[in-house]
């Protein structure tokens, strides 16, 4: 019988969608009841460090292609993709009217703010292309930036 390698265990973790060490150990116990001892032997003989290394490695394998595709896109492309998606559950677009009211309350022209954000995202950092939002606590500064994925409708 072949001894399991770290690669074999990462494939198993990925196939069974295991996220924690406890789930992996439970799977080993379950397989051991069926007479398959290779996973249990791997966990017992290889040590904690090797087993703990297999879990994040399996996750890295499963998300690698998606991360690479994401990294090839510009910030503006990501925002444009997000533009076609629905708001988060329970939002119903209310954040946009709240954001516009907040900008107006602070005397900020909505189109100028949107243009500054779009320019910063499209062209990156540089002279005269930085956006600095300053103000006291609890005045809504994060409303624009925390919800930036949803706020593409305002920016584009």
Question: Are 53 and 110 in a shared domain?
Answer: no
Q: What is the pLDDT of residue 68?
A: 93
Of 32, 57, 72, the residue at which a domain comes to its end is: 72
Q: 92 and 44, same structural domain?
A: no
The answer on 24 and 84 residing in a single domain is no
- 66 and 137 in a single domain? The answer is no
Tell me, yes or no, whether 97 and 143 share the same domain: yes
How many domains are contained in the chain?
2
The reported pLDDT for the residue numbered 94 is 75
Query: What does the pLDDT read at residue 143?
Result: 64
Which pLDDT does position 99 carry in this prediction?
Answer: 78
pTM, 2 dp: 0.53
Q: Give residue 28's pLDDT.
A: 93
Q: Which domain holds residue 52?
A: 6-72
Give φ, ψ of 149 to 5 degrees: -65, -40
pLDDT, residue 32, reads: 93
149 with 88, same domain?
yes
> What integer pLDDT is reported at residue 34 of this predicted model?
94
The one-digit pLDDT tens for each residue of the chain (156 residues) are 678 999 999 999 999 999 999 999 999 999 999 999 999 999 999 888 998 899 999 999 999 999 999 889 887 787 777 777 777 777 776 777 777 888 888 888 888 887 877 777 778 777 777 777 777 787 777 665 544 444 444 444
Do 84 and 138 belong to one domain?
A: yes
- Say what the pLDDT of residue 135 is: 76
Would you state the pLDDT for residue 152? 42
At 148 the pLDDT is: 41
- Same domain membership, residue 81 and residue 136: yes
* Whether residue 82 sits in one domain with residue 27: no
The reply to whether 1 falls in a domain is: no
**Can you give the pLDDT at residue 57?**
92
């Amino acid at each position: 019988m072949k001894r399991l390698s770290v690669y074999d265990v990462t494939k198993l973790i990925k196939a069974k969608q295991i996220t924690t060490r406890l789930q992996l150990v439970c799977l080993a116990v379950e397989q051991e009841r069926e007479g398959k001892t290779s996973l249990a032997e791997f966990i017992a003989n290889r040590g904690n460090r090797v087993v703990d290394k297999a879990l994040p490695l399996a996750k890295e394998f499963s998300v690698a292609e998606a991360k690479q595709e994401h990294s090839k896109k510009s910030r503006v492309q990501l925002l444009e993709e997000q533009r076609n998606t629905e708001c988060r559950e329970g939002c119903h677009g209310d954040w946009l009217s709240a954001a516009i009211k907040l900008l107006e309350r602070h005397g900020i022209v909505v189109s100028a703010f949107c243009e500054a954000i779009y320019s910063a995202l499209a062209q990156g950092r540089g002279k005269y292309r930085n956006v600095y939002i300053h103000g006291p606590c609890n005045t809504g500064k994060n409303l624009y930036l925390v919800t930036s994925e949803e706020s593409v409708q305002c920016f584009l």
